[in-house]
Each structure stands twice: as structure tokens, then as C-alpha cells.
Structure 1
């Protein structure tokens, strides 16, 4: 392992020593004060509520529940205190408690859902901004996800695309392009386990069944030290634990897919389970489209499934064990014209076992072992050429995390993670294997994160993370011995907040981040996306980020968030597109190295109370990439997801009589694309027995498509029949039939070359019926 420079070790040691001294002083001061802690749950289901707010009235401060629904408030003056728990869409609860000097009180809250929950777009008016999300963090309401008009299916990622700072590639992609980053720069976690390809139907929608999801948190940038391994952002998703009080079932019939779920208590409510399945039902509609439309790209066959399961057991009031699993798979055949065909077979498997323990009134710990596997076996046929690119990732990991709140001013979080990682990749053309390598690795990480409050409204959060990654590139077509590579990186993080009153907060955050993986993606068709990793001569990617934000309340119903951000991108690695024959090349020779940057500003205006709720988001952003060693890419160019302007609108209106109307609209600058200047023919390529037509352009992405805009509307009716509660959704996507341009095609059989246009979605209706029983 390479030596760490002394200049790196000393600052890290100084941070840890300062944190330890501060915590020792805080612990001493806390000896004379009391604490209160517990869980906040849904009174109807027993599900823990994440990010619920618990406040001590006399102390004038509060805390939010963690990922397990646990809260802790230390440093409280002895005597009688009043504790209030609240959560968006739930009735607040107020309880009294008498604290002894140095004593620890326990209060668990069971909050009842309100009769009307349409205000879940924003937090309640009586919650102070000081206890809300850090800069760049957005909590996504599942009710909002399910209410939005969608193409056949409510989709989590498509709903996230409506938030400022998040861009969509096109109507056919649910991939997340966040603050100038590509989809692989976003860490996607499901119950703490990494999901490497979180999409179905080569990106058309995400793998996450909304019936199975309890909570979603989006970190758009400058995320805290407890997360790592990605340059840009984090999507943290938690599945439902299951109803602890009664057995319930759900059934949804839709045009794209149908869903079913069941959940209920075990062992008298000490344990619970949740099981949700989803299966595609689009096949009849695809057959109709193929018979009525003369367009390429309509699948010849298509099927997918998702299975989510979770079981949780309360071993004691302070101990809980949970087991979670997910499995999903896609099998798609897509013809393009008479001589092109793509057969796709890919999916994910994840599993985890998590143990949580309340150590004391001010300390909480968790431990988890997890496994995840991603597989992709695509086969393409163009003319008489067949190519395959099998790609698999297997990861086993164990991690521990601890939280300690010794006083009212100090919070500490520490954790460590380690495991094994395996990546296999192969490329084959007409049964000739061009590339075949295995890249096994071991990895480890550790972090310390502290938060302190001082002065008049000041809060400072600092963290330091260390990541180590050791792997070896084994070219299975070469007899040479595998060459190992070891990388160690340090990632500091700092966040400063200043609250001026209950209605104004200024926040700033900055951090450094590293990524040991890269996803090579085709900009037009993602069916052959391939994961690659660092190796000998190919170091990890790096990024520095900074965010400055202002959060304000404009009366009881409105809030306004404004953020500006900037980020650098360094050591980006990607495969060299000009390589045709890679035999005999070293691992580093397969890649090109690049850099880039992104900056922008976001405005989010939300209304969360009244019959009309919703949000308006605006983003102005710029992102650029550059590969200095390649003449064609030596200048900075905009990737396809660079959009200067992005505007989104979401509105929910209570029509009465259990009807609700929803509108979603979007406008964006047209995406960048390359206009060719000339055509030429290449002869004698490896594995090719004919000439190949090619196009040339003086610059990459040198022009833009027309602006993108679309409006969707939907109506929801809720009611009760004899045996179940129902929800009927009537939706219309792209109401004014705007056929936004997707990309251009070129017919080389014509002279001059004939340019065609592939359009995005037309106007589409959607009907779904959900039953809860």
C-alpha cells in the first residue's frame, strides 16, 4: 500500500484530536443534565417515521428521527419538560416528562395520520427551518410520487426529475442527471445496500415499486461523510417494515404493470413483514402499437418483474433485527428496422440483515451485512454482425454505525464499512472475443462526523472519510500475471448554518468526493451500458463541491429555497471509443482520462397548505467535459444532459367529493447533439468483413435540439367499496401532443445521406385502479 503523505495525515489527526477533546468536555457537562429519547411511529401501521421532528418546548430546540425512526435529545435541564412530536401529514402529539439530574427518559410516540394529507409537499408550518434538511437535501413524498401523471406507472425517479437541479435525458429515460453529474455519479441505496442499475426497460422507469417504499431522501450535492463512493449525489431509499397492527393487502391494475402486496404482524405485533411484487402487463399494448404504428424501437417482446420483501423483529424495546431482499429482472427484444435487433437480459439482486440497538438515552448503534449482484447479458445484431457484452458486479459488505448525542450542543456519528467486490466484463464480435477481464477487489472505509451548536443560531458540521480500494486487473485473454493496484483517498466535509429566526436560515457546505467505478453509456441507447472500475494506471475519479443556500418561509403556507452550487470533476475515466482491437494492451491503455466542471443556481417555491399545493422549480446550470489527450475532445464540450434552463411545475388541487386534480409541466433548453459535417467510409476494421460508413464533425455536441416542453394532467378518485378502499386514476400524458425530438438518424443508402428524426412520446392516456383491503 502506498505511503500516505505526512501533510495528509497531520490534518486528519488534528481533526480527530479536536473532536475527541470537544466530546470529552461535552460529556463532562452532560453529567448534570438529562436526556429524552425514543421512537416515532405511525399509529395505524407501526411503521417508524424517518425525519419526524421531536421538540422540547422549554429548551426551545428539537431533533429529527434517524433512518430507524429513533431520536435523542440530551443536555436538558432537570425538571418537568414538555415534548412534542410532529410529522408531515400527521397529528402532532404533546407529552410531559419529569427528568432527574443525569437521568434518561424514554418517550415513544405513535402519531395518527391526518384525514387530509395533500400537504405533504412541504413540512408543517410550525416546524422551524433550523431542524430541516441540510443544503442540497430533498425528502420525496411517496404520496406525491403516486399522484403525478405518469407514462403507465407511478415512478420514483421520474418524480425526482421534477425537482430543481435534477435533469431528465428524455421521455424514455428515468436516469438521474443531478447538478451536472452523470447517472453513475449518483449512489442509489435500498435499505443501505447499493443498487447498481436502478432501472427497467433500459431506463424507461426505475426499479422501485412505490407500494414497497416508506421513505426517500435525495442528497443533491456536498453530501455528509457517512456516504461515499460517488462523485455527485445520493438517493437513500427505505422499504416498508410492514403493518404491526393488522394484516392488509394491496392490488393495482395498470397498463404497464400490475402490483400486489401484503403486510401484517407476526408474534402478536413484536414482528412484522412486508411483501410486494410487480409484473409487467404491457405486452397487449405493445402488440397494438406494433400493428398500428410504423416506427422503430417498439419492443417485440418485453417482460420484467420486481419482488421486495422485508421482515423485522423487536427482540426487546431497545433491539431490532430486520432482513430485507430485492430481486428484479428485465428481458426485452427490440427490433430496429429489418436488419437490427437487440436482446437484453439484465437485473439486480440485493439482500441485507440489519441489527439496531439503543445503547442508552443518547446513543444508538447499527450493524449490517449485505450482498448485491448486478448482471447484464446484452446481445445485438446489426446486419450480419452479432456482438455481446456480458457484465456482472458482485459485492459483499459489512458495516457498523454509531450515533452519540452527549449534550445539547454536540452530536457525533462514526462508522466503518468493508467488503469484497468483483467485476467481470467481456466483449464479443461475431464469436470473436475482443476483451475479457476480471477485476476482483477488496475495499474499506471509515468516517467520523460531528455537529456542534454555539453562539446565537450557529451550527457547524464537520466530517472526515477515508476510502481504500485494492483490486487487480486480470485479462483472461493474456497469460501475464494480474497486476494489483491500491488506492487510498481522504474526503473532508464541512457545513455551516446560521439561523436568524424560525423563518430564515443560511447554509453553506463543501466537500471532496471520490469514485472507484465508471459507467460507460451509449448516449442514444443504454441497453449496452457497462460498469468498469479503477485498476493499474487508472486511478479513482475525484470531485470538489461547494453549496450556498437560503431557506425562508413566506407565511404559513409558502417556503422558498435558493441554492447556488459549483463542482469540479477530475480524473474521469472512460473507454477509448476509437479502439477496435484491444488485444495485448495494458489495462490503462483501454481508457481515456478527462476532467470537467459544473455550476448553477436553483430556486424552489413550495406551497404546502390549503386546497392547492405544489411546487415551482427553476434551474440554471452549466456542465462541461474535456479529454485533453484526444484532439477531437481536447476542448470543453457540453454533454447531452447540459441544459441551461430547466423549469418544472407541480400542482395538486382538492376538487372535493374525494376527487383531486394533479398537473405536472416541464420546460427545458434543448439537449446538445452533434451535427456531422461530412461522411466517409472505413475499410479493414477487425471483426468486420465489409466497409463501414462513418460521420465526421469538427466539434462534439456543437448544436442543440429544439426546446423540450410537456404538460401532463391527472385526476384521482378515492373511496370505499364493500371490501376495500380504492383509488382510481385517470391521466393524460403530453396533453397537447408535443412530439419532442429525441435524436436524428442517417440513411446511408441514400445519396446524399437522408436525415430522419426520431420523436419522443405522443399524447398518451393512462388508467389504473388500486385496492387496499
Structure 2
């Protein structure tokens, strides 16, 4: 295997260094920043007027243009929501010109203004990518406050099980198959309030990249999709802040210059527990007694980021995140405490070795834990799950010429997982320790202004070096294995504004989820790394699509996809004994295919997007449904979303969202009988084949209205008030249907989702 890697790497190097285009040439490079606060901007278009030479800024706001012509040139820079800017420069032979540009954000009468420039050449071959900025995050009316994961559920190919889940089911994949990164650090749980809210504060978010499939070689470890979140660096020009109060929570954010850079902080906490405790103190009698039976619950999260612009060649960013949920229910003699949360830390060093070589180095730490303690007069119960992730990685971008962009890097990850269960004095521990080393290499080759081709690979060395099971006194060491993941993608421009695109790739996954209790609550999931007793998850992605850009920042994207999953796993709910990881799961296979349509309009008095998805997904396990393939419950044939924002006055705007989805698959009961045993009678229900029936269709409408006042005072710059109505026409969508065999005849129980919920909030900017 190592020999094969060496041959592939040697091929790349020989190709590059024998290429005559690598002779000395002229370059223009630099950073693009927001003029008002110094924040670097991602995805800015930069190109040389009168040519087909252009590029976009990367995640650090950096760009480089190679093979720049000699003489006097005009560099055009454009970005949605900012004034377009043209800069005239003069280039001499072999010059490496540094051009840092500040763009001015522009809002005129509440409308974003953008001068539309010539469309630049695509330097990246991007399939299944949707980029989300803060204005789009806040365009969807939500329950209580804007929420990242809820907004993403309105995009094509993205499904959810219910209104009580932040999990994303993307193109037939499950939430544990999504790689979620926060400033480069992997996050293992994204749920607050049992899944109703997500852990990400939209006020801290700078940009979100959702890659629904066919993701490039720099990403790995998951077999479905990537959610890459970049947080704000903070205002380098002056101090500013925001405070807001909503229906269930209050939050604040502060940012300002410090040293050679900036500091950003945001915090959020619910206050329901404080309100209930206060009500208990001021009430009496039956009301007070009722209040004491309500569990104490709260969640909070903190985001902190320190950014230092040491010099043009070196930048340093430190990010810290902490989130926690805690529920306590105590009525004598019963006492239960249930809590879960994440911590994440990122140290990122950005270094420009020369104008053509850009390096990001990371050290990341991630910790996730969930535990339950339950005490009563009969027993003491405890269970807990913890995941500790220590990662060191580096990403390199090399720009040898206008024809090639080389990306390469490595990842070292040490992953420890522990599950603990205790009943009274008996304690059982299941722990897994593993290490992973990754090397990747990728080249994006621009054959011509019309055609881009991307080819790369990712080599995974996975070593589950220890597994301990104290319940059965099992301890063993796994064997290290190599896995090769080739990737490729292409883009062909049919015209100035229309492109065909496609991608293919192989993906492995070394960690999966064991659901605890009711599988509809994704916040209770337990992570379990592969221990070599079963094969890692595996998937192949096949994607083809078309993309068109229209005037006034309107954009259409359509994609066909097929996902082959030769190795997928389902939790073994009939488990009797756990000796190895294989005992926890049924091994099988699956596939998903479909088509996604996405149309958006980014600027103007009326903006928003429309998405439609048509999809199928199936699973097949020898131990389930008599070995026949079946639709999992997250299979939805149709999904429609319409999101609009209308600015009907200078300071007023209204948001509208409508969602429709085919009902979930479920198993309809056909008959029932009683099994008579010597000591008892057991009622049983016989169902049809697994998941051949459907619940009623899901649909819901949400509306929000917002007022922004500009005070222009020294202390308070402006304030905002918003009113939102969740589920306007009060449709009680069906969550799930269960049969209670204890009743005779068996009773069908229907659990419905949320009713109409009006919410409001107030924000102050200072």
C-alpha cells in the first residue's frame, strides 16, 4: 500500500515540476476584508478585466492570481452585499504584487446593493455545495430565534425526522454520517432542548459550507456530507455588541480590537428555570404544588475567538466553544439528573510561505459527554458516554500556475470513547481507543476557460489499538488497516453563466451511533468507534448537475445523485450480550438516489429560495424484515421548501416559509394475538412488511415580521423587534404511530408535533 502511495505522489510531483508553465511569472495576491470591521471575506470574486483570469478568496480571505499579464491592469472585486471595487495596478516582469483590498458594505433603503461583474473562472470544482451567510441564516422564521440546523433543513436533499430533532438526513444518510466542523474542530452533538434547538449561535457564525456529497479529498471520516462552519473573527476597527431577549433565552455578543487583531465573544442561556423558581416563591397552594413537579431545565453555550494578524505572512486564531444541557427532576424519593454537552478548542496558524504556497496548521480538541443519574428508594442507576478527540492536522494550498491548484495535507487523530453503566454497586465499562493517520493530495486542473478537472485521493491508516469490556472481561487489540479513497470532479462551462458539473468519490467512516432509548431523540445517541470486529462504513457517490447564474444574483442548481453504501449498520435492538462492537450492530447495505432542485435570489426587495427534492433510499439487512430491503423511516419521496423575505418599507420586512414533505415510512399492524406461557400471557402484534405504509404528509407554514430602528446614538446604535408565528395554520403533524399491545384490543397511539406557537424577541445593538 505504501508503495502505491509513493507512486501516486511521485506522478503528481513529476508532472508539476516538468511542466514548462512553472517558469517564473507575475502574480497578484492578498487578503480581502470588510472595511467596517476588518473581517476577512470568504468567496469574494477577483478577476482581471478584459481576460478570463480570476479566482475567489479561500476560507482565510486569501487569493492569488497567477500568470498576470504585464502592464497596466484593472482588478475587479465583487461580493454580495458590498460595493464592487475596481483597482488599477501596473505589473512588471516577474513581479509578485501584494494587493490587499477593503470592501465597503452597502445598504440603501434596506436593500443590499451589488454591482454585477463578469463571472470569473471557477478555480474550484464544487458539486453539491451550498454556502450560507448570516443574512440567509436569519431569513427563515423559526420558533423563538434563528437556528442554523433548522435553516439547513430547508435546503434540497436535507431532511429531518421531526420538529424535535436537529439531525440532518442528507441524501439517504443519517446524522452520524455528517462531518460537522466548527473552525476546523469536529463536533459530535449539535442538540439543545432535546433537539428543538442546535448548539450554534447564529450571531457567532461567519459562513457555513454544506457539501451534500462528492466532497473533495481534504474532507473525510464520514460517508454522507460535510457541514463546515466558520466563526466570526471579531471587529478589528472598534468595539460593538448586541444583546437580545427571546421567548425562552437571552444572549449577548461582544467584539472589538485587541493587540494586532480582535476578540469575539457570544453567550446564550435559557431562563425558563429561573422563571419557574421565581413563580414557586411567589405562589402558594395548588399552583405552587404544580410548579414543583416541573423539571428544572436549562441550556447554555459560549463562543470565544481570539484572532491575531501578526503580519502579512502569519495569522493566529484561537477558538473555544462550550455548550451544556441539564435536566433535573426531583420528587422525593425520586431524583434524576440528565445532562449532555460539548467542548471544542481550535488553535489555527495561517502562514504564507510565499505568494504561491499557503498553509493552515491546526491543533484541535473536542470533548462530548452525556450521562444520566437516577436515584430512588430501590436502586441507583448511572449511564454515561464520553468521546475525546485530539487532532493535529495541516492543509496546504499551492498555486504553481493558472492551470493548477494543488491541495495537500495530513491528519493525525486520537479518538477515545467510553460507555459506562452502573446499577447500585455493579459497574460496567466499554471503552475504545483508536488512532487515525491521513494523507491527502488533490489537483484542480484548468484545461481551458471552459473546463476544470479535479482529481485527488485520501489515504486512511486506521488503528483501533484497544477495546475493553469489563462486563464480559474482554480486552483485545485491533489490527491497523489502510483504506484508499479516490476522488474526482469536473466542471464544463456551456456558456458564460451555465456550467455542467459532476463528481465521484469513495468514502469510509470509522465511528457510528448506538441509539439509547427512543431512537426518535437524537440527543441521546452514543458514539462507538469501529473496533475491527466489523468493517467500517463505506459509500460511493455519483453526482451530475447543471448550474446557471442569472442577472440580479439569481441562481439555479439542479443535481442528480446516486449513493451506493455497501457497508452500513443498524443498531441491534435484540442484543443479549456484547463481546465486541460487532454484537451491537446488524451489518447490511443500502443505496439512495434522487434529484435536487434549488433556485435562489440573493438581493432586491424580494429575496429567498425555492427547493425541491425527489428521492429514494433503501436498506437491506439479513436479520431485519426477513432479509428483504425496506425503506427506512427517513425516506421521503418529495420535499418542498419555499422561503421568502420581502422588504416592504425601509425598516420593515416580512419572512415567510412553507414546507411540505411526504409522510414517514412506518409499519402498519395487521393483527394481534396472545401468547400463553406457563407463568404469564404475552400480548403480541403482527405487522406488515417493514415500513411499507406512510404517515400523512407533513406541511407547515411559518411567518415572521421584523422592525429595525436606527437611532444613531453614541451608546445604542439601533434596536430591532421581531414577531414570529410558528405553524400558522396550526397543523398538528403526526410524529409517530405506536401500538400498545397491553390493551385489548391493542390501542393505536398517535403522537403529534408542535401546535401554533407565536414568539417574539427584542435586540439592541451598541
The TM-score normalised by the length of structure 1 is 0.91
| Residue 505 of structure 2 is aligned to residue 515 of structure 1 | no
Alpha-carbon displacement from aligned partner over 1:42-76 (angstroms, at most 9, x marks no partner): 11111111111111224322111111111111122
Q: Which runs of 4+ in 1 moved over 6 A?
A: 8-11, 117-123, 284-292, 337-342, 380-386, 680-684, 689-693
Which residue does 2:759 correspond to in 1? Answer: 766
SS of alignment partner, residue 588 of structure 1: helix
Which residue does 1:308 correspond to in 2? Answer: 303
1:548/1:564 contact within 8 Å kept: yes
Which residue does 2:283 correspond to in 1? Answer: none
Alpha-carbon displacement from aligned partner over 1:286-342 (angstroms, at most 9, x marks no partner): 8999999xx9xx97332011010010112212111111100010012589x999997
1:560/1:605 contact within 8 Å kept: yes
1:182 to 154, 160, 174: 174
Structure 2 unaligned residues grouped into runs of 5+: 281-285
2:123/2:405 contact within 8 Å kept: no
Q: Separation in 1 of the partners of 2:756 and 2:277? A: 18
| Residue 418 of structure 2 is aligned to residue 418 of structure 1 | no
Which residue does 2:638 correspond to in 1? Answer: 645
| Residue 526 of structure 2 is aligned to residue 530 of structure 1 | yes
2:109/2:650 contact within 8 Å kept: no
Which residue does 1:244 correspond to in 2? Answer: 236
Which residue does 1:740 correspond to in 2? Answer: 733
Q: Separation in 2 of the partners of 1:470 and 1:622? A: 35
Which residue does 1:710 correspond to in 2? Answer: 700
Which residue does 1:258 correspond to in 2? Answer: 250
The TM-score normalised by the length of structure 2 is 0.92
Change (3 A) 1:534 1:144: same
Alpha-carbon displacement from aligned partner over 1:609-664 (angstroms, at most 9, x marks no partner): 32111111100001111112x15351111111110000000011111131011101
Which residue does 2:668 correspond to in 1? Answer: 675
Change (3 A) 1:31 1:728: same
Which residue does 1:75 correspond to in 2? Answer: 67
Q: Separation in 2 of the partners of 1:23 and 1:643? A: 46
| Residue 276 of structure 2 is aligned to residue 276 of structure 1 | no
Which residue does 2:746 correspond to in 1? Answer: 753
Which residue does 2:57 correspond to in 1? Answer: 65
Which residue does 2:447 correspond to in 1? Answer: 454
1:215/1:238 contact within 8 Å kept: yes
2:607/2:644 contact within 8 Å kept: yes
**Shift of the alpha carbon at 1:545?**
0.2
**Shift of the alpha carbon at 1:746?**
4.0
1:90 to 68, 71, 82: 82
Change (3 A) 1:277 1:40: same
SS of alignment partner, residue 93 of structure 2: coil
Q: Separation in 2 of the partners of 1:117 and 1:141? A: 21
1:638/1:672 contact within 8 Å kept: yes
2:566/2:590 contact within 8 Å kept: yes
2:52/2:449 contact within 8 Å kept: no
Q: Separation in 2 of the partners of 1:252 and 1:163? A: 27
Alpha-carbon displacement from aligned partner over 1:410-459 (angstroms, at most 9, x marks no partner): 110110010311000134567755x5211011111110010111145110
Q: How does 1:477-496 map to 2 (within 5 A)?
A: 477-496=471-490
Q: Separation in 2 of the partners of 1:631 and 1:437? A: 26
Which residue does 1:4 correspond to in 2? Answer: none
Q: Separation in 1 of the partners of 2:638 and 2:378? A: 43
**Shift of the alpha carbon at 1:34?**
0.3
**Shift of the alpha carbon at 1:683?**
11
**Shift of the alpha carbon at 1:491?**
0.5
Which residue does 1:351 correspond to in 2? Answer: 345
Between 1:305-314 and 1:453-462, the stretch displaced more is 453-462
Q: Separation in 2 of the partners of 1:655 and 1:386? A: 60
Alpha-carbon displacement from aligned partner over 1:595-622 (angstroms, at most 9, x marks no partner): 1000000111122332111111100001
Change (3 A) 1:505 1:95: same
Between 1:311-320 and 1:110-119, the stretch displaced more is 110-119
SS of alignment partner, residue 484 of structure 1: coil
Q: Separation in 2 of the partners of 1:713 and 1:325? A: 34
Which residue does 1:399 correspond to in 2? Answer: 393
SS of alignment partner, residue 592 of structure 1: strand
Q: How many residues align?
A: 750
Q: How does 1:96-245 map to 2 (within 5 A)?
A: 96-116=88-108, 126-128=118-120, 130=122, 134-245=126-237
1:73/1:362 contact within 8 Å kept: no
Q: Separation in 2 of the partners of 1:693 and 1:320? A: 67
**Shift of the alpha carbon at 1:205?**
1.6
| Residue 321 of structure 2 is aligned to residue 326 of structure 1 | yes
Q: Separation in 1 of the partners of 2:142 and 2:624? A: 43
Q: Separation in 1 of the partners of 2:611 and 2:143? A: 21
**Shift of the alpha carbon at 1:700?**
2.0
**Shift of the alpha carbon at 1:383?**
13
Q: Cα RMSD over matched residues?
A: 3.1
Which residue does 1:3 correspond to in 2? Answer: none
Which residue does 1:376 correspond to in 2? Answer: 370
Between 1:444-453 and 1:374-383, the stretch displaced more is 374-383
Which residue does 1:567 correspond to in 2? Answer: 563
Q: Separation in 2 of the partners of 1:399 and 1:225? A: 14
Q: Separation in 2 of the partners of 1:568 and 1:666? A: 28
2:457/2:485 contact within 8 Å kept: yes
Between 1:215-224 and 1:669-678, the stretch displaced more is 669-678
2:83/2:113 contact within 8 Å kept: no
Which residue does 2:500 correspond to in 1? Answer: 506
**Shift of the alpha carbon at 1:169?**
1.2
2:593/2:615 contact within 8 Å kept: yes
Alpha-carbon displacement from aligned partner over 1:443-495 (angstroms, at most 9, x marks no partner): 11110010111145110011110111111211123444423232221101101
**Shift of the alpha carbon at 1:9?**
6.3
Change (3 A) 1:581 1:690: farther
Structure 1 unaligned residues grouped into runs of 5+: 1-7
Which residue does 2:458 correspond to in 1? Answer: 465
